[in-house]
Amino acid sequence: MTAVSDTPTTTTAEQPPVVEPPVEPPVGPPDKPPVIAEDRPRELGGWDTDMTMSLWGSLVGSLALVWVLYEKVLAFSGSLGFVVCWYVAFLLMYAGVTKLGNPWVVVKDRLSGAVVTGAALVVALALLSTLIYTFWQGFPALVHPNFYVEDMAGVRPTAPLSEGGVWMAIVGSFIEVFIAALFALPLGIGTAVFLTEVGGRGSMFVRTVVEAMTALPDILAGLFIYVTLIVGLGFPKSGFAAGMALFVMMLPIIARSAEVQLRIVPGGLREAGLALGASQWRMVRKVVLPTAKAGLATALILGVARAVGETAPVLITSGASTFTNYNPFRDPMNSLPLFTFSAVRSGETLFITRGFGAASILLALVLLLFVVIRFLARDRGTRR
């Protein structure tokens, strides 16, 4: 007899296979290959947390280290030596701290930036200290209105600051610089046009002479005019002779600056002018010079800034005076640099203060000229 199991038998139905929908290719450009971290370009510039903390930590740490070694251990003295040692220690510490978490290229980049920034700060501090000291010493004279509108005729060097002024020096500087610019501007631009547009065999000789005159000492320019005009041709010592000496100083500055400005005029403008049938000189007059007029004005202002501060040529060719002279062809004519030189070396306290006041006016005039240069350069860059 066969035993029948009481356990019921369950029959499982077969599951149908799961059919996945087809994957469509993505629409659009293919994905870019992944960028390997080592090939990713390093961002230059900017301030991150690592650079900020490294910079300030190195500044404070080097200051503390140098103070302990310079003042306490080695017992040195002197603020200049302290600043130099602090700067050297800062560079070494900054390079070491940066190397802890960055490659050598970052260390070199940051160290170069620190060196360049330090040099710029030295120049800025030197200029700022000169301006502050000059204006501070001349401030007692600058607050008096008579200082700008009166001269020193009949005024003693020991007279109070409420008497006399530097009007004769202001007038003399303007007349002498005007005479110099009247001759230097056309000759300088003409020399630049010859070097850039004409050329030829003589251009190298002219360029060499202009470059040599750029480094000409100012006292030699004064001696040249003294021997040529005053001794040789019999001209009296006057503002005209002083203006001609300043002209010798201005000419190479204007010629070199104007040559640079003419060379950056696009050559396509020259070719277009010649293609329209214009002659070379008409093209220069109508195309090249108007295009470079802002740069030529900058060249003129640079030459004026060089000439307005000269003392030796005026002293040799004109001489100092205490009265106002409006005639440049007779009698001595003073200037701001010459008045400053005479006042500071006089030894009188009040006269020295007047000299610093005249130097302050001269500094303000030169700074104004360079501000005009910046505006002209910016205006030219905007139009381009």
Q: What is the mean pLDDT of the chain?
A: 83
Least Cα distance to 118 among 61, 58, 42 occurs for 58
The torsion angles phi and psi of 85, rounded to 5 degrees, stand at -65, -35
- In a domain, residue 23? The reply is no
129-180 per-position pLDDT tens digit: 988 999 999 999 999 999 998 888 888 888 888 888 899 999 999 999 999 9
- In a domain, residue 175? The reply is yes
Q: How far apart are CA 55 and CA 101, in angstroms?
A: 14
Side chain identity at residue 364, one-letter code: A
H-only helix segments in the chain: 49-67, 79-99, 104-142, 146-149, 167-193, 202-214, 218-225, 239-263, 267-275, 280-283, 289-291, 293-307, 312-317, 336-344, 349-383
For residues 88 and 190, membership in a common domain is answered with no
Q: How far apart are CA 313 and CA 243, in angstroms?
A: 9
How many CB atoms lie under 10 A from the CB of residue 33?
6
Confidence grade of residue 247 (pLDDT, cut at 50, 70, 90): very high
Q: For residue 215, what is the domain's CATH number?
A: 1.10.3720.10
Q: In sequence order, what DSSP letters do the residues of 247-291 get, joined into one string?
A: HHHHHHHHHHHHHHHHHTS-HHHHHHHHHTT--HHHHIIIIIHHH
Answer left, alpha or beta for residue 114, where phi above 0 means left and psi between -120 and 50 means alpha: alpha
For residues 178 and 132, membership in a common domain is answered with no
For residues 367 and 274, membership in a common domain is answered with yes
pLDDT at 369: 80
Q: How far apart are CA 197 and CA 58, in angstroms?
A: 55
Tell me if 244 sits within 8 A of 225, measured CB to CB: yes
For residues 224 and 335, membership in a common domain is answered with yes
Count of structural domains within the chain? 2
- In a domain, residue 68? The reply is yes
Residue 308: domain span: 167-383
For residues 215 and 111, membership in a common domain is answered with no
pTM over 0.85: no
25-53 per-position pLDDT tens digit: 555 555 555 554 455 555 555 667 878 88
CA 229 to chain centre: 36
For residues 268 and 126, membership in a common domain is answered with no
For residues 91 and 191, membership in a common domain is answered with no
For residues 172 and 233, membership in a common domain is answered with yes
Max Cα–Cα distance, the chain, nearest Å:
162
Radius of gyration of the chain (CA): 37
287-297 per-position pLDDT tens digit: 888 888 888 88
For residues 188 and 294, membership in a common domain is answered with yes
Confidence grade of residue 54 (pLDDT, cut at 50, 70, 90): confident
For residues 179 and 136, membership in a common domain is answered with no
Q: How far apart are CA 272 and CA 171, in angstroms?
A: 46
pLDDT at 4: 46
H-only helix segments in 143-236: 146-149, 167-193, 202-214, 218-225
CA angle, corner 298, sides to 292 and 301, nearest 5? Answer: 145
For residues 98 and 221, membership in a common domain is answered with no
